[in-house]
Structure 1
Amino acid sequence: MSRWFALMLCAALCGVAAATSIEEREANLSASLRCLVCQNQTLAESNAPLASDMRQQIREQLAQGKSEQQIRAFFEQRYGAFVRYDPPFTASTWLLWIGPFALLGVGFVAMWRLVSRRNRYEPAPLTPAEQARAASLLNGDAP
């Protein structure tokens, strides 16, 4: 009787561990895929009906024994690379990855040129009439 109980307990614990593993894998996949309705949220964060359907699809595919890579490939094939929350570096996404750094570089170059141009500016010397007027203003004389 005790062996039967131990065997049932072991089977139950293994089943819970497998379910937890699938739930963890589903949570990881949901966090790495974009909600197509919300677009700025992951599937895990979204409450949209489509996100719920996609999470259910992930659970079903994990239960079938598919790997996370196969499931990502399935969603990419179906919805395009946009569905990935961290798109891969490819010819079609290079601007996404390099664009912010390029804009930052252009901003620094523009600021440097503006500051260096401002430092090189020397005002034209005052004419004798302007010097006399400035001196009279500084001395407090009325013009």
Structure 2
Amino acid sequence: MRRLAAALLALSLTAQTQVPAALADTQLADPTREAEARALMETLRCVVCQGQSIADSDATMAGDMRALVRDRIRRGERPAAIRAWLIGRYGDYISYDPPLSPVTWPLWLAPIALLAIGAWLARGSFRRRR
């Protein structure tokens, strides 16, 4: 049992991405790549803070994610590929712009439904005043 636990721990540690922590708060040397990284970081939600992007969050997890984004962009990966990888790893929740799917339909339809209900209530209120 202990061997199994040790093996699983070793496997999980080797599966984690090793990214230099210095990249969390240090900009890339190439301004174009830094702009790409910054634009991507502003569209990704911090999984710890839940209300901030990884660009704005001070959480350690957000710093790790910033470092990961900068490292992958430094190595030449496209922002769309990095975004897809992060969504695959953390789910659609990490994106401030989730894709339209049966799971996210309520997110997209709720504002329209609320506007329709508000218009209907306002219409009824105006009719009573006449």
1:79 to 84, 90, 99: 90
- The answer for the alignment partner of 1:56 in structure 2 is 67
- The answer for the alignment partner of 1:112 in structure 2 is 123
CA distance in 2 between counterparts of 1:88 and 1:27 reads 21
Residue ranges of structure 2 left out of the alignment (5+ in a row): 1-27
1:70 to 61, 74, 81: 81
- The answer for the alignment partner of 2:101 in structure 1 is 90
Deviations 1:28-66 (A, max 9, x none): 111111111111111111111000000011111112221
CA distance in 2 between counterparts of 1:78 and 1:116 reads 52
CA distance in 2 between counterparts of 1:68 and 1:94 reads 25
Residue ranges of structure 1 left out of the alignment (5+ in a row): 1-16, 120-143
Deviations 1:47-104 (A, max 9, x none): 1100000001111111222111110011000100110112222222121122112112
CA distance in 1 between counterparts of 2:120 and 2:96 reads 31
Higher relative contact order, structure no. (Cα contacts within 8 Å, ≥ 6 residues apart): 2
CA distance in 2 between counterparts of 1:50 and 1:56 reads 10
- CA apart distance, 1:116: 2.5
Are residues 1:30 and 2:68 paired? no
CA distance in 2 between counterparts of 1:101 and 1:43 reads 28
Identity of aligned residues (%): 39
Deviations 1:102-126 (A, max 9, x none): 112112213323442564xxxxxxx
Greater Rg over alpha carbons, structure:
1
The number of aligned residues is 103
CA RMSD of aligned residues (A): 1.9
